[in-house]
């Protein structure tokens, strides 16, 4: 479904963020991408979201090579990939409900669809009662659940999460991870980038380890190994 082929990304001539990275992610898989800060996790996900272009190599999403997707088709591609970030990226002046509805308005969904879909997805992430709260009135874990609801509302085939628990305490962290597992069980591919050793070791799912921009290990099930 997603295939990295000899992908490299060089920001400046001294260091490469990614060197000759190749791996494949299948439908309904739950893959963790692990590594220390600076190992290239975020770069990898940015390339997948077409936020940045690789210096070399190909990234396939189904049949499309992402770096060659035109500006016009990019929005359509992004609606199939739900993204979750460490800093949530919620709009501070919109309520939880509006933040999710916003993602639907943006792609031109009707008010009717929005009214029926948003409560469902908020219910799924367990935020039915907090729909009218603003992000500043929500805890970190709740904010991240709003962000997950927003990512899910397009019914994407894959969820890409970049350090989603980086700003959360252990209890909230596990809430989010359990939610991601639930989403995965409902049939959505999940790619989770993290450096949280405990999560990785408890998950017992496939792990792709990045070290200095290269794939050091790719094991299923894998463990977090400090090198």
Q: Which residues contact another protein (rule: CB under 8 A)?
A: 49, 51, 71-72, 75-76, 78-79, 83, 89-91, 102-103, 106-108, 150-151, 154
Peptide linkage before 14 cis (omega within 30 of 0): no
The tokens 């993204």 sit on which residue? 83
In whole angstroms, the minimum distance from the beta carbon of 6 to another protein comes to: 25
In whole angstroms, the minimum distance from the beta carbon of 89 to another protein comes to: 5
Q: Which is nearer to another protein, 31 or 151 (CB)?
A: 151
Q: How many CB atoms lie within 10 A of CB 135?
A: 18
Q: Which is nearer to another protein, 144 or 209 (CB)?
A: 144
In whole angstroms, the minimum distance from the beta carbon of 197 to another protein comes to: 28
The tokens 């969904």 sit on which residue? 109
Q: Which is nearer to another protein, 156 or 213 (CB)?
A: 156
In whole angstroms, the minimum distance from the beta carbon of 34 to another protein comes to: 23
Residue 16 to residue 33: CA distance in whole angstroms: 18
Q: Which is nearer to another protein, 9 or 206 (CB)?
A: 9
Residue 76 to residue 157: CA distance in whole angstroms: 13
Q: Which is nearer to another protein, 75 or 221 (CB)?
A: 75
Residues 6+ apart with CB under 8 A from 4: 21, 22, 23, 24, 44, 57, 58, 59
In whole angstroms, the minimum distance from the beta carbon of 12 to another protein comes to: 20
Write phi, then psi, for 152 (nearest 5 degrees).
Answer: -80, -20
Residue 105 to residue 114: CA distance in whole angstroms: 8
């Amino acid at each position: 479904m997603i295939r990295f082929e000899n992908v490299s990304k060089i920001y400046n001539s001294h260091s490469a963020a990614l060197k000759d990275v190749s791996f494949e992610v299948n439908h309904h898989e739950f893959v963790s991408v692990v590594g220390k800060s600076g190992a290239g996790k975020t770069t990898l996900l940015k390339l997948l979201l077409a936020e940045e272009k690789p210096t070399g190599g190909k990234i396939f999403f189904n049949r499309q090579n992402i770096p060659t997707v035109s500006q016009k088709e990019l929005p359509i591609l992004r609606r199939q990939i739900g993204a979750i970030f460490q800093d949530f990226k919620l709009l501070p002046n919109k309520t939880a409900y509006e933040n999710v509805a916003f993602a639907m308005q943006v792609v031109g969904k009707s008010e009717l669809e929005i009214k029926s879909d948003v409560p469902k997805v908020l219910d799924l992430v367990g935020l039915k009662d907090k729909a009218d709260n603003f992000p500043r009135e929500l805890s970190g874990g709740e904010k991240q659940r709003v962000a997950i609801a927003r990512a899910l509302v397009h019914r994407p085939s894959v969820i890409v999460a970049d350090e989603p628990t980086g700003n959360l305490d252990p209890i909230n962290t596990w809430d989010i991870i359990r939610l991601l597992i639930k989403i995965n069980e409902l049939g959505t591919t999940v790619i989770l980038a993290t450096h949280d050793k405990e999560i990785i070791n408890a998950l017992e799912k496939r792990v792709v380890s990045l070290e200095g921009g290269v794939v050091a290990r790719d094991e299923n099930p894998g463990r977090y190994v400090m090198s």
